[in-house]
Chain A
Amino acid sequence: MTQKFALTVNGTTHTIEADPDMPLLYALRDELGLNNPHFGCGLAQCGACTVHLDGQATRSCATPLSAVGNAKITTLAGLGTPEKPHPLQTAYIEEQVPQCGYCINGWIMTAADLLAHKKNPSEAEIEDALSGIKCRCGTHISILKAVKRAAAMMG
């Protein structure tokens, strides 16, 4: 049975009708047409689908709609814009991180959660927060540089 859900995404509220068991990822991608959270595993193992729920990095592929409640949802597109970039977005560009770029949501959204709550984290704290997120192209060294650069920018 489907139910109505009001989802507030990047500041705009949308009403959709969907299976309450459906993971948030499919609502964002297929119902709202947002392309940024990606399907990587559907098992909360890789991070490619990461969004913020009330600021907390959350794997949307394993978060059923019924669990979203009234949480404000932020996606990578809502984190910053070319005009008003989040420091992590600026740092990613400065460090030229990507290879394929499919994993970016996991790293930036998770790091944004960390940096919002922890000023000047140590390298070990950064690695600990990002542990488990996958990048298959092997951009880890640049990712760490970018997160450290963003942390310094946010001082």
Chain B
Amino acid sequence: MTKFEKTTALSRRAVLIGGGALVVSIGAPIGADTVFNIGAAHAQGARPPLTPDQLSSYIAVNADGTVNAYFGKMDMGHGLHVAIGQIVAEELDVPFKAVTVFMADTDKTVNQGGASGSTGIQLGGKQMRYAAAEARRVLIEMASSALSVPADQLKVSDGVVTVKNDASKSISYAKLIGGRYFNVELAWNKQFGNDLYAPGKAQPKPASEHKIVGQPIKRADVAPKVFAQEDFVTDVKRPGMVHGRMIRPPVAGAVPVKVDDNSIKDIPGAKVVWDKGFLGVVADKEWDAIKAAEKLKIEWSNANPPFPDQAALYDHIRKAPVRKRVVEKENGSVDEAFKSAAKVIEAEYEWPFQSHASMGPACAVVEIMTDGQVLCWSGSQKTHFVQEGVALTLGIPVEKVTVYWKMGPGSYGRNDADDCAGDAAMLAKAVGKPVRLQYMRDQGTGWDPKGPASIHKVRAGLDASGNVVAYDFLSKAFSRVDVNTNGSKPWDTLTGQTLGVALKSGDGFGVPAESYAFDNKRLAWETIPPLLDRASPLRSSHLRDPVGPQIHFASESFIDEVAAAHGADPIEFRLRHIKEPRDVAVIKAAAQAANWETRPSPRKGQTGNKVSGRGIAYAQRNGTRVAIVAEVDIDRASGKIWARKFTVAHDCGQIINPDGLTKCIEGNIVQGVSRTLWEEVKFDNKSVTSVDWMTYPILDITETPAEVNVVLINHPEIASSGAGEPSIRPVAAAIANAIFDATGVRIRRVPFSPDHVKAALS
């Protein structure tokens, strides 16, 4: 059965030794000599290292002919492991069910970047495809030698190599290499992470020959979840394990100056772990650790409240010094073109800090063995980076740390998981026992890295005929990498920062990804310093489709504003300026499926409090194109919006698994609706005040769209691009444009909560 294997006690060595681990040396040309040398290689104890340039780091055939795929990324809930299994099975010509995908454990996989940038299939799957193709090529050559038949006379089906014109002559993969390692070098590009690429000599199959890729194969991990048979990272138990809880300051930036151990002396096994700003407790029992964290008497340093009033957030951004300015795209003479424009339209849009607010706060388990080896169980999206971060935090070589990936309580980017692993490591080191640390809800929402708040200024210059002759898009925002997208460096984790490592705030944002062909066009961003230069509950980093929702809320709302100023239909206006064929195709597909009525916005003839509207928005993302039509109902009296229906046209090149892709898109749309209608991190001068589901509301099931109609555009001839994030990108703008269509009122600040909408409509 193909599933993602989660037996974390089972090391890679154990997996293969079970089949008698040997090493098969395959250099070209393959001959009988190589095969005869297998035993010698084994006798010498040789085993290919777990490095990116070894085929064995990605693919192994077990003694029973089943296949292990070692994947240095992980599935955060979309079912990515199914698609990876399909790709590997396809290239190897083995049954889908023969493939088991092992994900992200650092002792079994190389660093392919973790869950990152919707690259699971785009980059991770590409590498697995090339590795599997190379494995098939090598196996054919081995079969050629074993059967004494030229390789081009052989075919493969279900893991058995057969002579094309003599079915009586065959040999299975199991017999050729089962239980032994490939010893085949790949042409590694010397990159780690998302950019890792290590092809062999084989070319993958053409899409026309695909039989498994493209099929709607179901997930095998749903049943274990619904029968409560699957362990999450929160469920890991180690002998002698104690429980930890962390304590955060009431005023961001404050550190403990006095900690009274006596205040928790009645709690069995309770201990304080305190070093500079790092403050946690451990106890034998979890409930005792929670009580100890609540009861511990702490005197905090006098820290100046670091944050502006919430109401002044966007003014703060406007007035803040620019730390970095980047013009990512510019063509023509933008400033000159504005000077000669007959008319200029401009608008400004605002997006708040948002929290990952994962379903549960982060959890990690760390055990430091007597020989100094450190074992860490984490739900992080980036286990290989956590490995480095834990090693640096503990001051030990990275080789001494193994990180096992376990499904965490939801993850949509750089959430609190990496911090939790570092904190758990420090607690384990301090108390000399395995520690399970889970944050509390207020820490999960209040102290996770936030999606950055931003403002976006957009201008368009029009000539006398209403054509766009100048376009200028500028975001000014907190950085998407105030703390980096992974916890590999102590200055990027709360652990490191609370221990006194100085923040190294990076600069990054982004620009709209579209193909509007304006003659004089500039797309730029500016970043501002963080509000607090140390352990901050408002430090900013990556949250799903990092900065995509805010940028395209602005850019696609603005395009609608320009269309409305022309009295043009929003789709007709877009297509006037978009010539890129795949972009045109998604927009037309969405319009057709939604039965789009060609007319300008706003809609005419609606009276009363209950009004409806429709809106379009589109975006690209690293090769993927998405167009969304939103249909919304609005109660003008209450300000409540129901985003009733979405039609989504989605083109990500070749589709590996259409059902998995559709689910992935549905999740993006629903989470996008939540972030658009409800989500805003609240704070006061001292700290974040969004600390639970009452103070950080998200979409409720009573507000769920009645329908998300997904139109998949498949391009088997085009390499797959990502799907994990692109479709959340245009959601906010599609809703905003639908609100304008319904009401004639343009809302330029997210979230569209009832209070905000009511105020905007009045």
| Residues of chain B contacted by A30 (CB below 8 angstroms) | 285-287
- B688–chain A nearest beta-carbon distance, Å: 16
Complex contact B701–A140 (CB within 8 A): yes
Complex contact A141–B666 (CB within 8 A): yes
Q: B195 on the interface (CB 8 Å rule)? A: no
Q: B211 on the interface (CB 8 Å rule)? A: no
Q: B659 on the interface (CB 8 Å rule)? A: yes
Complex contact B227–A85 (CB within 8 A): yes
Q: Which of B218, B409, B672, B698 has the most CB of A within 10 A?
A: B409
Give the residues from 295 to 316 in chain B that come closer than 8 angstroms, CB to CB, to chain A.
none
Give the residues from 202 to 237 in chain B that come closer than 8 angstroms, CB to CB, to chain A.
218-219, 221-223, 225-232, 234-235, 237
- B293–chain A nearest beta-carbon distance, Å: 12
Complex contact B701–A130 (CB within 8 A): yes
Complex contact B667–A99 (CB within 8 A): yes
| Residues of chain B contacted by A143 (CB below 8 angstroms) | 701
| Residues of chain B contacted by A92 (CB below 8 angstroms) | 222, 226
Complex contact A42–B701 (CB within 8 A): no
| Residues of chain A contacted by B373 (CB below 8 angstroms) | none
What does the 1/0 interface line of B699-730 toward A look like (CB < 8 Å)?
11110110110000000000000000000000
Cβ-defined partner of B409 (8 Å) among A38, A93, A96, A98: A38
What does the 1/0 interface line of B416-434 toward A look like (CB < 8 Å)?
0000000000000000000
Complex contact B671–A45 (CB within 8 A): no
Q: B566 on the interface (CB 8 Å rule)? A: no
* Closest residue on chain B to residue A42 by CB atoms: B441
Q: B360 on the interface (CB 8 Å rule)? A: yes
| Residues of chain B contacted by A38 (CB below 8 angstroms) | 232, 234, 359-360, 409
Cβ-defined partner of A39 (8 Å) among B438, B666, B669: B438
Q: B78 on the interface (CB 8 Å rule)? A: yes
Give the residues from 28 to 83 in chain B that come closer than 8 angstroms, CB to CB, to chain A.
76-79
Complex contact A80–B359 (CB within 8 A): no
Q: A80-B227, A137-B667, A138-B667 are in contact. Are A102 and B360 (CB under 8 A)?
A: yes
| Residues of chain A contacted by B78 (CB below 8 angstroms) | 99
Complex contact B670–A141 (CB within 8 A): yes
Complex contact B359–A100 (CB within 8 A): yes
Report the count of interface residues on A (CB-CB < 8 A): 59
| Residues of chain A contacted by B408 (CB below 8 angstroms) | 100, 102
Q: How far apart are the CA atoms of A64 and B337 in the complex, in Å?
A: 69
* Closest residue on chain B to residue A26 by CB atoms: B287
Q: How far apart are the CA atoms of A46 and B79 in the complex, in Å?
A: 24
Q: B663 on the interface (CB 8 Å rule)? A: yes
Complex contact A142–B663 (CB within 8 A): yes
Cβ-defined partner of A138 (8 Å) among B225, B358, B407, B670: B670
Complex contact B219–A100 (CB within 8 A): no
Q: B490 on the interface (CB 8 Å rule)? A: no
| Residues of chain B contacted by A103 (CB below 8 angstroms) | 359
Cβ-defined partner of B222 (8 Å) among A23, A43, A98: A98
Cβ-defined partner of B230 (8 Å) among A97, A101, A133, A138: A101
| Residues of chain A contacted by B692 (CB below 8 angstroms) | 41, 43, 45
Give the residues from 23 to 54 in chain A that come closer than 8 angstroms, CB to CB, to chain B.
23, 26, 29-30, 33-36, 38-43, 45-46, 48
What does the 1/0 interface line of A117-155 toward B look like (CB < 8 Å)?
000000000011011111111111111100000000000
Q: B570 on the interface (CB 8 Å rule)? A: no
Complex contact B701–A133 (CB within 8 A): yes
| Residues of chain A contacted by B221 (CB below 8 angstroms) | 98, 101
What does the 1/0 interface line of A94-118 toward B look like (CB < 8 Å)?
0011111111110010000000000
| Residues of chain B contacted by A136 (CB below 8 angstroms) | 357-359, 410, 412, 671, 698
Q: A82 on the interface (CB 8 Å rule)? A: yes
Complex contact A141–B225 (CB within 8 A): no
| Residues of chain A contacted by B398 (CB below 8 angstroms) | none
Residues of B contacting A: mostly: loop
Complex contact B693–A41 (CB within 8 A): yes
Complex contact A48–B222 (CB within 8 A): no
Q: A77 on the interface (CB 8 Å rule)? A: yes
| Residues of chain B contacted by A133 (CB below 8 angstroms) | 701
Q: A96-B218, A127-B702, A140-B704 are in contact. Are A101 and B235 (CB under 8 A)?
A: no
Q: A100-B407, A100-B408, A134-B359 are in contact. Are A40 and B441 (CB under 8 A)?
A: yes
- A41–chain B nearest beta-carbon distance, Å: 4
Complex contact A45–B693 (CB within 8 A): yes
Complex contact A36–B228 (CB within 8 A): yes
| Residues of chain A contacted by B226 (CB below 8 angstroms) | 76, 85, 88-89, 92-93, 104, 108
| Residues of chain A contacted by B77 (CB below 8 angstroms) | 98-101, 137
Complex contact B360–A48 (CB within 8 A): yes
- A98–chain B nearest beta-carbon distance, Å: 5
Q: B668 on the interface (CB 8 Å rule)? A: yes
* Closest residue on chain A to residue B363 by CB atoms: A39
Q: Which of A77, A93, A97 has the most CB of B within 10 A?
A: A93
Q: B440 on the interface (CB 8 Å rule)? A: yes
Complex contact A102–B232 (CB within 8 A): yes
Q: How far apart are the CA atoms of A43 and B235 in the complex, in Å?
A: 20
Complex contact A93–B698 (CB within 8 A): no
| Residues of chain A contacted by B659 (CB below 8 angstroms) | 96
Q: B411 on the interface (CB 8 Å rule)? A: yes
| Residues of chain A contacted by B106 (CB below 8 angstroms) | none
Q: B694 on the interface (CB 8 Å rule)? A: yes
| Residues of chain B contacted by A138 (CB below 8 angstroms) | 666-674, 699
Q: A66 on the interface (CB 8 Å rule)? A: no
| Residues of chain A contacted by B230 (CB below 8 angstroms) | 101
- B493–chain A nearest beta-carbon distance, Å: 22
Q: A26-B287, A48-B360 are in contact. Are A100 and B411 (CB under 8 A)?
A: yes
Complex contact A100–B228 (CB within 8 A): no
What does the 1/0 interface line of B718-761 toward A look like (CB < 8 Å)?
00000000000000000000000000000000000000000000
Q: What would 5 more interface pairs be, CB under 8 Å, given A40-B360, A89-B223?
A: A100-B408, A101-B232, A134-B359, A138-B666, A138-B667
Which A residues are closer than 8 A to B by beta carbons? Answer: 18-19, 22-23, 26, 29-30, 33-36, 38-43, 45-46, 48, 75-77, 80-82, 85, 88-89, 92-93, 96-105, 108, 127-128, 130-144
**Chain A to chain B: the 7 pairs with minimum beta-carbon distance, closest first:** A99-B77, A138-B670, A36-B228, A77-B228, A35-B235, A101-B225, A138-B671
A-B pairs with beta carbons under 8 Å apart, 24 shown: A26-B286, A35-B235, A38-B232, A38-B359, A39-B438, A40-B359, A48-B409, A76-B227, A88-B226, A96-B218, A96-B663, A100-B76, A104-B225, A131-B702, A136-B410, A136-B698, A137-B359, A137-B671, A138-B668, A138-B672, A138-B673, A139-B663, A142-B663, A142-B666
